[in-house]
Structure formats: C-alpha cells, structure tokens
Amino acid sequence: MPASTYKYLLCFSAFLLLFGCKPEKIGENTEVEAELSLPERPNILWLVAEDLSPFIPSFGDSTIQTPNISRLAAEGICYDNFFSPSPVCAPSRAAISTGMYPTHIGANHMRTGPWYANISDEEAAKRSRFMPEGISFYEAVPPVGVKMMSEVLRGAGYYCTNNAKMDYQFRPTVSAWDESGRQAHWRNRDPNQPFFAVFNFEVTHESRIWRKAEDSLWVDPELQVPIPPYLPDTEVGVKDVRRMYSNIREMDFQVGEVLKELEEDGLLDSTIIFWYTDHGGPLPRHKRLLYDSGLRVPLIIRFPGKQMAQTRNDDLLSFIDLAPTTFSLTGAESAYPLDGLAFLGPQATKEKRKYIRAAADRFDAQYDTNRAIRDKRYKYIRYYQPEKSMFLPVAYREQMAIMQELHRLKESGEITEIQAQWFRDKKPKEELFDTQSDPHEIKDLAQDPAYKEILAELSAECDRWVNSFEDTGLMPEPELIEKLWPGQKAPVVNSPTAEMNDGRLSLSCATEGASLAYRFIANADENKGAGSWQVYTKPISVPGNQQVEFIADRIGYKASSIVTYAQ
C-alpha cells in the first residue's frame, strides 16, 4: 500500500471515529437529579471557546491532549448533543444572551452592524465592507420585556463580567454588565457577592487559521491529523487542520490559567463551571453550514465537589437553554417567556426535547435562507432558495488557505466527488441525513422511499417551528429593518422619570420593556465622578451628600438621555 494511501486511510478512520462512534466513556448516560447539593447562590463561570466542534479527547478525538478540559470532563458531565441554533457567532451569541431564537428577535443575519458601544467611524467603515449593498447598520429588536440574561442576574444580586466578546447583533444595554472588557474579572467584585463571569477564548476562531499560519505550533510540527473527506488531504489542507489543533491546545492552556485563578481564590467548590464553544468548527464546511460540523458543539459542566463526575448525558440541548438553566441554578427569575428550557436546577423541565432547530440566513454580503430540524439521529435541512448554488463565497472565509486550496482543486479538475457536493450549482429543496451512519452528512436520503415517514415528520416540525413566531429570516431584510428601525433609525427610549416617596426614589419609563439603571455621584461638589450603572429593581435611598443619575435603555433602541436627581 502506498504511504500516501495509508496516511489517508489512517486520517479518515480517525475522523470516522470522532464523528461516527461514541466517545470513550467517562461514565454512563446520566440524568442530573434534584439531589445535587449546591450553594444557595452558586458562582457561575462560563469558559467559551470560539469556532470549535468536538475535536477533543473527552468527545472522542485523541489527536491531541487537552489536560485542562479533560480534567473538567473527568470531574463533571459531558453533554453529547448540544447544538447552536446558528452556525455562526453573532446570531448564536444573541441566542445565548437572551434565551431566544435569533430568527425570533431579528438577530439571524450575520453582521447587522457595529455592535460595540463607542465604535470609531474608521472601524464602522471597515465593517461596512461586509454588508450587502443597500443594507445599512441596524440592531436586533427583541419582543417587549426581553433582556440580556446578565442583566437579569445582576438584578438578582450577581456581579456579572464579560471578557470580552460583545457581538450580540445589538449593543448591550448599559445595565447588562458590571464589567465588559479585557480586564473584566470576578476578582473586581465585593468578595461576598456571587458572580457570573464569562471568558471568551478567541485563539480557536476561524481567523486564527490564517493569522497564525506562520506562528510556532503548540503541537508536533509533524502531527498526523485526521482530514474529513470534504476537505483536501494535501499539504495545504493538512497544514491548516494542524493549525486548528494547535490553536485548540493553546486554548486549553488558557482555560487552565483561568481555572488556576479560581483555585487560588478558593472558589472552585462554590462555582459551577461551564465549558463549551460558540458554534461548530473553523474550517470550510464547518462554520456557516447547518450540518453537525457547524452546529454540534461540546458542553462540559463541573459542579462543586465534583458532583456527577465522570458521567455523560445525551439529551438534545440548545443554546437557547443556557439562559433559563442559569436562572434555575441561581434563583434569578426572567420577566419574559423564553424560547429555551432549563435542563438543570429546580426549574429543570421534566420533558425531554425531541428536536433541535437551527437557521442560516445572510452571511456578510451573501444571502441564503435555510432551516434545519434534528432529532437524536436524523437531520432535515430545508432550502428556501434552491435556485442558488450550495456554496456561498463569503469574503471572510476566502482568506483561509484551505479554502483557496478547494478552489484550486475544483478549477484543476482534481476535486473529489464528495468535495464537489458543496460546489453544486443548485441546491435541492430539502435534504435528509442519518447522522448515525453518515456523520459527515454526505448521503442525502430525502428521495429514498424508505425514509418517507421520517422526512414528513421533520418537514412538519420545520413548518411548525417557522410558524410559531414571525421568522425574521423569511422576510426581505429591508422590510425587516423597517420593522425594527422605522425610517432606518434606532427607536429612542423615553427619558425616565423619578418620584420621591417616603424617602425613597422610584423610577419609571414610558417606553414599554425598557430597563432602568442608576448610579450615584459621590460628593458631587468635589467632582469625584460617578460609579457604575446599577440595575433598578426597587425604590432606592439617596444619601444626602450624593446625586443620582438614571437612564433607561432597551435592546435595539438608543438609550435615553441621562437624568440627574439631587435632593
């Protein structure tokens, strides 16, 4: 057997092991029972890697070792069926932060605008090159009452920090975080206050495949890596896949540094740790596609005292379940109905999810409209624009060498039949895959009579889902923008009003669904400045030597002007 053929079979077998087989068991499939013993208000730590499928030992891929993540897996629960409702970051982060489907709140199109507060004109212009012609910047506007989950937690007494991603498809409200930025950390709180802290690890992001292409590796430069059949098993392809694994190894080190700080502070056994990723992998045919390679991600949860250690769970879970689950674990209460369901804590649902649902619409300047429904075995994908080619030439992805290599192979006639599937001139109206026997989702069963009933069931569920609310991806984007921002201008929140009753200040706002926040200005005559914005939940006392400022805000709106009150 030629060495090249042997290498291909070795790598292909490894990838089939990763996606086609169950991972090596840490423990049996387990339901998390109510017998969990948790602090009354546990700390919550989220460790979130970007652009990463389950390419780690705890989920069946032993290409590299990830000692810190493997430690979390050995001391906690691995969830094998955790999915994003979108195969790209900003819509998926909108779902995480609100507990709502992106298509429910107008967050489904990737790159709606400059989501960061105080973004420079130069940066806004840079981002605008990714927008379709004629589409201006806008923000998602969720239904009345929808708030960022961090604001709900702050209202329940938690100190909430985000380090440091903020691309939610909308500007975070002023009341969303105690801190958000590169220096945000639980260490900046009052030690007696529980915290919710998010750390995002950008090193595994798609862009790091090409930006770190010439950096030294965190793995053996000759590391044998598995190449799935839809990617090129060439020198260029192997180099980019090896870089992906190197970035995973570096991310694992960064996770270890945060865990070390948690242990140094004596907080390991008062903190529930979530490690997961924000959608599927960074390589071509991963990110932006509705195959499992774009949607299925690993989730590990470690409880204080290593409760439920060395166990696995195969329930179908979605990103929209993270907010209600965190509320359930912390005792926080949402004032609006969520699309997701809690799967842990006192509010955990008894009913198992039968399907996960996902959508893919515009990516930068490229339009498409696709929906997916998956049960534990079968994946159904509906293409609303089958006349368009399957492949979308997204400019951002075109920077990757392995993507350019696929184009080269196509132009030279060297592309394989499996690789060529992605470059079809037209799409079918629908596809059906058996993810158990066909983990790469290559063999379409939609026209096979043997699967007629399964196809009908999942198609009906797709109809039910898109009709359960006004799916914002099924309307032209200019129409959506006009609905969210009439006249293409952000609606403005009315200025809040204040009323003093029995020595306490009550705040209100005429804008339905607005969040209220306040901050004290200590010793105003000495101009010592204002503190951070605090979430208003009940009337407040104002010390005699202080002024108080207050503001009203709402997701997708322009915040009100700041109002000052002095006794």
The DSSP result for 433-494, as a single string, is EETTT-TT--S--TT-GGGHHHHHHHHHHHHHHHTTTT-GGGS-HHHHHHHHSGGGS--BPP
Q: Do residues 330 and 42 lie in contact, with contact meaning Cβ atoms separated by under 8 Å?
A: yes
Strand partners, 160: 196
Catalytic member of 11, 78, 89, 509: 89
Reference 139, options 480, 454, 502; nearest CA is: 480
- Mean pLDDT by runs of 10 across the 567 residues of the chain is 39 42 46 73 98 98 98 98 97 98 97 66 72 87 96 98 92 95 96 97 98 97 98 98 98 98 97 98 98 98 97 98 98 92 95 96 96 98 97 95 98 98 97 98 98 98 98 97 94 96 93 96 52 92 86 96 89
Task: Count H helices and E strands in the chain, helices first.
Answer: 14, 19
Q: 235-264 vs 67-74: helix axis angle to the nearest 10?
A: 60
Reference 300, options 290, 310, 292, 286; nearest CA is: 310
**Strand 563-565 to 546-553 pairing:** antiparallel
Phi and psi at residue 466, in whole multiples of 5°?
-70, -20
Q: How far apart are CA 29 and CA 85, in angstroms?
A: 24
Where are the alpha helices (H) located in 99-138, listed in sequence order? Answer: 102-105, 121-128
pLDDT at residue 5, rounded to an integer: 38
Q: How far apart are CA 223 and CA 107, in angstroms?
A: 40
- DSSP-derived secondary structure letter, 557: S
Beta strands in 154-205 (DSSP E): 159-163, 179-180, 195-201
In 3-state terms, what secondary structure has residue 512? coil
Q: How far apart are CA 487 and CA 483, in angstroms?
A: 9
Q: How far apart are CA 177 and CA 150, in angstroms?
A: 6
For 47, residues 6+ apart whose C-beta sits below 8 A from its C-beta are 199, 201, 255, 258, 273, 274, 275, 276
pLDDT at residue 118, rounded to an integer: 57
Q: How far apart are CA 345 and CA 323, in angstroms?
A: 12
For 465, residues 6+ apart whose C-beta sits below 8 A from its C-beta are 357, 371, 373
In 3-state terms, what secondary structure has residue 260? helix
- State the residue for tokens 């242990």: 263
Q: How far apart are CA 260 and CA 438, in angstroms?
A: 40
- Per-residue DSSP letters for 353-420? P--EEEEE--BTTB---EEEEE-SSEEEEEES-TTS-S----TTGGGSHHHHHHHHHHHHT---HHHH
Q: How far apart are CA 316 and CA 219, in angstroms?
A: 33
pLDDT at residue 26, rounded to an integer: 44
Q: Could you give the C-alpha distances from 341 to 133, 185, 243, 320, in angstroms and in order?
A: 38, 28, 37, 7
- DSSP-derived secondary structure letter, 558: B
Q: How far apart are CA 225 and CA 14, in angstroms?
A: 8
- The pTM (predicted TM-score) of the whole model is 0.93
Instruction: Please tell me whether the peptide bond between 164 and the residue prior to it is cis, using omega within 30 degrees of 0.
Output: yes
Q: Do residues 303 and 69 lie in contact, with contact meaning Cβ atoms separated by under 8 Å?
A: no
Q: How many CA atoms lie within 13 A of 200 on its CB side?
A: 20
pLDDT at residue 540, rounded to an integer: 95
Q: How far apart are CA 124 and CA 129, in angstroms?
A: 9
- Other Cβ atoms closer than 10 A to 133: 5
Task: Give the domains, in start order, of the chain with CATH numbers.
Answer: 3-360 (3.40.720.10), 497-565 (2.60.40.10)
pLDDT at residue 6, rounded to an integer: 37
For 307, residues 6+ apart whose C-beta sits below 8 A from its C-beta are 36, 37
Q: Do residues 88 and 167 lie in contact, with contact meaning Cβ atoms separated by under 8 Å?
A: no
Q: Do residues 56 and 80 lie in contact, with contact meaning Cβ atoms separated by under 8 Å?
A: no
Query: Is 89 considered catalytic here?
Result: yes
The helix or strand, by DSSP H or E, that contains position 273, with its residue range, turns out to be strand 271-277
pLDDT at residue 222, rounded to an integer: 97
Q: How far apart are CA 546 and CA 528, in angstroms?
A: 11
**Strand 195-201 to 43-49 pairing:** parallel
